[in-house]
Amino acid sequence: MNLFRLLGDLAHLASIFILLHKIQTTRSCRGISFKTQALYVLVFLTRYVDLFFHWVSLYNFVMKIFFIASSCYILYLMKYRFRPTHDPSLDTFKIEYLLGPCFVLALIFNYHFELAEVLWAFSIYLEAVAIFPQLFMLQRTGEAEAITTHYLAALGVYRALYIPNWIYRYFTEGVVDPIAVVAGIVQTGLYLDFFYVYFTKVLQGQKFELPA
């Protein structure tokens, strides 16, 4: 464990609490892509199958359980509790375009051709692009509540912090995980446009609005 990774994980945790807070306080999931949230459930379920056979640490175990449970809970809130506040006509990204290629990539690029490894690689690729439906929705509506942008920023920061973590690990432990690194860089890259607007507008106290 190093500081970058710890802060990254904390940013990830923060993003989930921000999202829960947004849904609970506004009693609405307006502006949140159900598809992206559903993809995260799939990401966690396929990545953490090793919960059953690979013990890492208590920290790792608790976090995995939390990510699975909280993502399922968010899906429940969106699907049942606050269903009327979700507008499927804005959430129109076709996730088949993400699932198919990620699955094919996982079949080709994995560390070992066995079920758990292919699922793991699939989860890495899918996580990298799971934010697409959300960003697409943002693009369509052209604006977002501040709290929704804080959620996205925390999620982006989480991924961005994993990059110095990998650099640090390369120099201190000599380990590189090329699949995670390449996917992680792609994933972070997807947030660049968002970050630009977030830092130049939201953090200056302005409304998050995309240029027309």
Partner 1 sequence: PSELPVKDEL
Out of 82, 93, 120, 136, point to the residue binding partner 1 (CB under 8 A): 120
CA–chain centroid gap for 204, Å, is 25
Q: What is the largest CA-CA distance in the chain?
A: 51
- Nearer to partner 1 among residue 54 and residue 207 (C-beta): 54
Q: Is 122 in the site for partner 1 (CB under 8 A)?
A: no
Q: Is 54 in the site for partner 1 (CB under 8 A)?
A: yes
Per-residue contact string for residues 173-192; x = within reach of partner 1 by CB under 8 A: --xxx-xx------------
CB of 69 to partner 1, least distance (A): 14
* DSSP tally for the chain: helices H, then strands E: 9, 2
Contact 28, 182 (CB under 8 A): no
Q: Is 199 in the site for partner 1 (CB under 8 A)?
A: no
Q: Taking the CB of residue 116, how many other CB atoms lie within 10 A of it?
A: 16
Q: How far is CA 149 from CA 79, 159, 194, in A?
A: 21, 15, 9
Structure tokens at 170: 């390369």
Angle at 84 (CA atoms; ends 80, 88), nearest 5 degrees: 95
CB of 133 to partner 1, least distance (A): 22
Per DSSP, helices labelled H in 48-129 are 58-76, 96-108, 115-129
CB of 173 to partner 1, least distance (A): 9
- Nearer to partner 1 among residue 148 and residue 165 (C-beta): 165
Subset of residues 55 to 114 that bind partner 1, contact rule: CB under 8 A: 56-57, 60, 63-64, 67, 111-112
CB of 63 to partner 1, least distance (A): 5
- Nearer to partner 1 among residue 64 and residue 201 (C-beta): 64
Tell me how far apart the alpha carbons of residues 206 and 138 are, in angstroms, rounded to a whole number.
16
Write out the residues near partner 1 by the rule CB under 8 A: 5, 9, 12, 50, 54, 56-57, 60, 63-64, 67, 111-112, 117, 120, 162, 165, 175-177, 179-180
